[in-house]
């Protein structure tokens, strides 16, 4: 939702310094309207704190935004610390910010142009390279989301879901389009009713496709295995292994622009999809 608002602000050439003045009230209203769930409140606070940085002439920092969101939510509702949605939301989004660059960096190299090439590439090649880059980014995001959320899914729900890795590749873009068409229906439909009808019908089609896809994937044999609750030490060992990977290969990539653009969407899909 923040991305959609920012797109509109860019169209009107609003300086990034003042984005938070528009984002804050709109995102708060959106979070309240959608039920003020832990994931929505966390994302709302994170976005506001992050984009408040330029307004205060400070460099934005995603980890400070995550920490502030967690502290604020717990200060108001300490019992959230034991809520599954709260745990999923903060663990997954933190893991996305840390893991995504590590996975995306080697995939990015597959689509980089030859630096020694003299002749300019054809437009078709450039377009295919751009598409490949976006697919690689989506794959990295899905892998990071699954790696971080899989042990939590096993611990809280007693299931191991390898199919979630594939489902995230399909669910993430579909969910983005659903939110986009819904937003366009609200904004443009308030100006002209014909737009409301067009985007609402598109929204229904996308939701139907999403439900059909998730229904098919949930029926794949072995896609989701019931294994009981694993011991806590096994869950901690999984995260220690991920931490070791970050220490070994994660230098200098944390906090990239691409992570900041995608982390919230990925965390929400990992939470909802794996549930």
> Given this model, what pLDDT does residue 205 score?
95
Indicate the pLDDT class of residue 200, thresholds 50, 70 and 90: very high
Mean pLDDT of the chain: 83
CB 160 within 8 Å of CB 225: yes
| Residue 268: pLDDT band with limits 50, 70, 90 | very low
Mean pLDDT of 165-181: 87
- The residue among 139, 171, 170 whose CA lies nearest residue 268 is 171
pLDDT over 90 at 3, yes or no: no
Question: Residue 212: pLDDT band by 50, 70, 90 thresholds?
Answer: very high
Q: Does 260 score more than 60 pLDDT?
A: no
Look at residue 204 in the predicted model and tell me its pLDDT: 94
Return the domain boundaries, the chain.
2-100+139-274
Q: Tell whether the model's pLDDT for residue 254 goes beyond 70.
A: no
* Of 142, 202, 137, 145, nearest in space to 170 by CA: 142
Answer yes or no: are the C-beta atoms of 182 and 189 closer than 8 Å.
Answer: no
262 and 76 in contact (C-beta within 8 Å)? no
- Give the list of residues 6+ apart from residue 224 with CB closer than 8 angstroms, or none: 159, 160, 161, 162, 163, 164, 218
Burial class (CB in 10 A: 0-12, 13-18, 19+), 193: exposed
Q: What is this structure's pTM?
A: 0.75
Mean pLDDT, range 40-53, rounded to an integer: 87
**121-162 pLDDT, tens per residue?**
888 888 888 888 888 888 998 899 899 999 999 999 888 888
Asked whether residue 275 carries a pLDDT value surpassing 70, the answer given is no
Whole-number pLDDT of residue 236: 92
């Amino acid at each position: 939702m923040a991305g959609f608002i920012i797109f509109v602000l860019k169209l009107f050439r609003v300086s990034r310094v003042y984005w938070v003045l528009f984002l804050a009230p709109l995102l708060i209203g959106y979070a309240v309207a959608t039920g003020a769930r832990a994931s929505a409140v966390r994302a709302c606070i994170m976005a506001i704190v992050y984009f408040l940085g330029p307004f205060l002439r400070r460099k934005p920092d995603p980890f400070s935004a995550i920490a502030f969101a967690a502290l604020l939510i717990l200060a108001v509702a300490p019992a959230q610390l034991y809520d599954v949605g709260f745990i999923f939301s903060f663990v997954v989004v933190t893991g996305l910010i840390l893991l995504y660059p590590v996975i995306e960096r080697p995939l990015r190299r597959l689509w980089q142009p030859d630096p020694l090439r003299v002749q300019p590439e054809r437009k078709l090649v450039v377009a295919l390279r751009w598409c490949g880059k976006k697919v690689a980014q989506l794959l990295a995001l899905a892998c990071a989301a699954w790696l971080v959320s899989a042990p939590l899914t096993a611990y809280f729900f007693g299931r191991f879901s390898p199919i979630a890795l594939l489902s995230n590749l399909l669910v993430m873009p579909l969910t983005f389009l659903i939110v986009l068409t819904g937003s366009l229906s609200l904004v443009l439909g308030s100006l002209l009713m014909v737009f409301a009808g067009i985007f609402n019908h598109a929204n229904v089609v996308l939701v139907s496709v999403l439900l059909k896809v998730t229904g098919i994937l949930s029926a794949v044999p072995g896609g989701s295995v019931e294994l009981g609750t694993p011991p806590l030490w096994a869950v901690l060992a999984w995260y220690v292994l991920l931490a070791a990977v970050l220490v070994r290969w994660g230098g200098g990539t944390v906090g990239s622009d691409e992570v900041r653009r995608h982390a919230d969407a990925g965390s929400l899909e990992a939470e909802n999809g794996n549930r």
